[in-house]
Chains A and B, each alone.
Chain A
Amino acid sequence: AQSVAQPEDQVNVAEGNPLTVKCTYSVSGNPYLFWYVQYPNRGLQFLLKYITGDNLVKGSYGFEAEFNKSQTSFHLKKPSALVSDSALYFCAVRDLGGSSNTGKLIFGQGTTLQVKP
């Protein structure tokens, strides 16, 4: 069964410093990986996805993610954090199990990013 894990409940960084939010995955077959961000009392906003191709994926708001097949990881990164980046971040994997293509997403537990001025 497909699954994702976000090992850190919270990540704290200072504004201007680089940030990394970790995600590891377990899939059978090729992984289809996504990052979403959630601000308080809001839905999820799509940041980026990895389907195939380059291991470094660039997304919205200056975020990027590095796909590492050998380590089964898909860490979210940003070179210089902003206070406005403070939010809840979710890693997700597409569930390809079953007889039909449901497009179902399996989410991690989420990581709270706190960027301090």
Chain B
Amino acid sequence: DAGVTQSPTHLIKTRGQHVTLRCSPISGHKSVSWYQQVLGQGPQFIFQYYEKEERGRGNFPDRFSARQFPNYSSELNVNALLLGDSALYLCASSLFAGENTEAFFGQGTRLTVV
């Protein structure tokens, strides 16, 4: 079975531009979460979606938005990019949204803002 797949793997953008990151969860998984991992730190929660509805949002500005599609894949959008948005963006999928459920992560998208 395919794991969590993210695209693209690497991306270079200029300040002020916008970016769209994509994630396909493990087959059968209905929940997708997005995390930002800045170099040298642990991942920080951005969003969780379950059954196409937003279930949670982390402490990120409104420039960050996301959605989940009927096939449970997801997009993370970031507008008006700042240098500080440079990070590894991780997508995680899980069967459900519950506290018992482990999350499985993709390889991430490395975003560099110049």
Residues on A facing B (Cβ under 8 Å): 32, 34, 36, 41-46, 49, 51, 90, 92, 94-96, 98, 100-110
Contacts and interface: CB of A to CB of B under 8 A. Distances in A.
Given A102-B48, A102-B97, A46 B41 contact: no
Contact of B107 (A34, A42, A110): A42
Given A34-B102, A43-B105, A51-B100, A104 B42 contact: no
Q: What are the 8 closest A-B residue pairs judged by CB atoms, nearest first?
A: A102-B56, A107-B42, A43-B105, A44-B105, A103-B97, A43-B107, A94-B99, A104-B45
30 contacts: A32-B99, A32-B100, A43-B4, A43-B6, A43-B106, A43-B108, A44-B105, A45-B105, A46-B102, A46-B105, A51-B100, A95-B45, A96-B99, A100-B55, A100-B56, A101-B97, A102-B45, A102-B48, A102-B55, A103-B31, A103-B33, A103-B55, A103-B94, A103-B97, A103-B101, A104-B58, A105-B103, A107-B42, A109-B41, A110-B41
B56 A109 contact: no
A106 B99 CA distance: 12
B75 to A, nearest CB: 18
Contacts of A49: 102
B88 to A, nearest CB: 8
A44 B94 contact: no
Q: Which among A32, A44, A46 has the greatest number of chain B C-beta atoms within 10 A?
A: A44
A36 B103 CA distance: 10
Contacts of B64: none
A35 to B, nearest CB: 10
Contacts of A44: 43, 90, 92, 105
A32 B97 CA distance: 13
A96 B99 CA distance: 7
Nearest to B55: A102
A42 B90 CA distance: 10
A92 B110 CA distance: 22
B108 A103 contact: no
B25 to A, nearest CB: 13
B109 to A, nearest CB: 10
Contact of B56 (A34, A46, A90, A103): A103
